[in-house]
Amino acid sequence: MSLVGHLRELRNHLVKALLAVAAGTIVGFLWYDHGLLTFFTEPYCALPGELRLQGDGECRLVVLDVFGGVLLRLKIGLLAGVVLSSPFWLYQLWAFITPGLKRNEKRYGIGFVAASTTLFALGAVMAYITLTKGLELLLSLAGDEVAFQLTAPDYLGFVISLLVAFGLSFELPLIAVGLNLVGILSHEALSGARRWIYFLTIVFAAFITPTQDPFTMLAMAVPMCVLFELAIQVARVVDKRRAKREAAEGLAGLDDDEASPSIEAASPLDTTPSSIDEPAHLQR
């Protein structure tokens, strides 16, 4: 296919993906009043009443401008649309890439797409679970005489950034596995740097979490350390299989009258005169 053909194919897949996102956005826009907004505000409403200005009776976010409500609804609808339509636009991306891949590359690609989606969802769920405790810890630092009335854009921006930060952070161990599969990063290197990996993971979690409180930091760092350990063990299995395959390919490439390198190295022929039995009439 020519360059123009590739660009035309890319355009077609992008149009289909954008149409899917638009349809999902419409669904999210209609879903806004039927539980979607409640899903996002539930961690804030679960805070103790003394931290919120309304107390226990009401739980509402504040909008300070006329168009703030419309923009808020569109933002949440777009986010929901991207999530709801993700199977379709991921398929469009895969359909554009897969013609240029080999059979084993297709197999790895499907595995990586499934693993990355699962890890991102796991990170987002972990962030949502820890959101209430993180908010409570942060807001309580202001003292007992301070109550908060959060604006909707600031709060929802904070929630979305936390979900995305957790989701992307859980992808890092998968990157280590990918580098090992292509032969860039070995199990020996990963295993030798295990302590540094754990230390840098904790430092990374301390900087990347929007709340930057110890509870949320540990909620990100501990699962990431577990995932990195799984990545190290996967690298160990991959390196063992690679070594066996290379050894088998090395032996299979030898000629019938050619000795294997291991035999030549282990049993060299000693041809020194002292080791050769001479005839009796020449030993005098």
Rounded average pLDDT over 23-34? 88
Same domain, 58 and 137: yes
Q: What are all long-range contacts of 137-143, with beta carbons under 8 Å and residues at least 24 apart?
A: 137/211, 137/213, 137/215, 138/211, 138/213, 139/47, 139/51, 140/51
Residues 207 and 130 grouped into a single domain: no
Query: Domain range spanning residue 89?
Result: 1-167
Are 224 and 239 in a shared domain? yes
Same-domain pairing of 43 and 160 = yes
Better-predicted residue by pLDDT, 212 or 63? 63
Asked if residue 187 and residue 95 are part of one domain, the reply reads no
Task: Report d(CA 218, CA 90) in Å as an integer.
Answer: 31
Do 175 and 163 share a domain, yes or no? no
Provide mean pLDDT across the span 206-214: 74
In a domain, 259, yes or no: no
Please indicate, yes or no, if residue 279 is contained in any of the structural domains. Answer: no
Average pLDDT, the chain: 78
% of the chain beyond a pLDDT of 90: 3
User: Is the CB of residue 182 less than 8 Å from the CB of residue 213?
Assistant: no
Residue 77's closest CA among 32, 19, 143? 32
pLDDT interval class at 267 (50, 70, 90): very low
Shared domain check, 235 and 142: no
Please enumerate in sequence order all residues whose Cβ is within 8 A of that of 97, keeping only pairs 6 or more positions apart, or say none.
Answer: 109
Using 50, 70 and 90 to split pLDDT, how confident is the model at 284?
A: very low
The answer to the question of residue 236 being in a domain is yes
Residues 128 and 144 grouped into a single domain: yes
pLDDT tens for 33-72 read 888 888 888 888 887 777 777 655 677 788 887 888 888 8
Greater confidence, 267 or 54?
A: 54
As a whole number of angstroms, the distance between CA 21 and CA 84 comes to: 8
DSSP the chain: --HHHHHHHHHHHHHHHHHHHHHHHHHHHHHIIIIIHHHHHHHHHTS-GGGBTTTTS----B--STTHHHHHHHHHHHHHHHHHTHHHHHHHHHHHHGGGS-HHHHHHHHHHHHHHHHHHHHHHHHHHHHHHHHHHHHHHTT-TT--B--BHHHHHHHHHHHHHHHHHHTTHHHHHHHHHHTTSS-HHHHHHTHHHHHHHHHHHHHHH-SS--HHHHHHHHHHHHHHHHHHHHHHHHHHHHHHHHHHHHHHHTS-TTS--HHHHHHS-----GGGS---GGG--
Total tally of structural domains belonging to the chain = 2
Q: Is the pLDDT of residue 275 over 50?
A: no
Name the band, by pLDDT with cuts 50, 70 and 90, for residue 26: very high
Asked if 5 and 111 sit in the same domain, the reply is yes
pLDDT of residue 259: 53
Q: What is the pLDDT of residue 211?
A: 64
Q: State which of 23-37, 92-106, 247-261 shows the largest mean pLDDT.
A: 23-37
Domain-embedded: residue 265: no
Point out the domain boundary residue: 136, 167, 198. Answer: 167
Q: Which of 106, 141, 167 is the last residue of a domain?
A: 167
Q: Is the pTM of this model over 0.95?
A: no
Q: Is residue 148 part of a domain?
A: yes
Q: Which of 167, 187, 220 is the last residue of a domain?
A: 167
Examine the pLDDT at 251 and tell me if it is beyond 60: no
Query: 102 and 191: one domain?
Result: no
The reply to whether 207 falls in a domain is yes
Residues 135 and 14 grouped into a single domain? yes
Averaged pLDDT, 138-151: 75
pLDDT for the residue 19:
92
> Is residue 268 one of the residues assigned to a domain?
no
| Confidence grade of residue 23 (pLDDT, cut at 50, 70, 90) | very high
**pLDDT surpassing 60 at residue 277:** no
The residue-averaged pLDDT of 214-228 equals 85
Residue 132: pLDDT over 60: yes
**Cα Rg, the chain, nearest whole Å:** 30
Residue 12 lies in a domain: yes
Same domain for 199 and 211, yes or no, is: yes
What is the model's pLDDT at position 4? 77
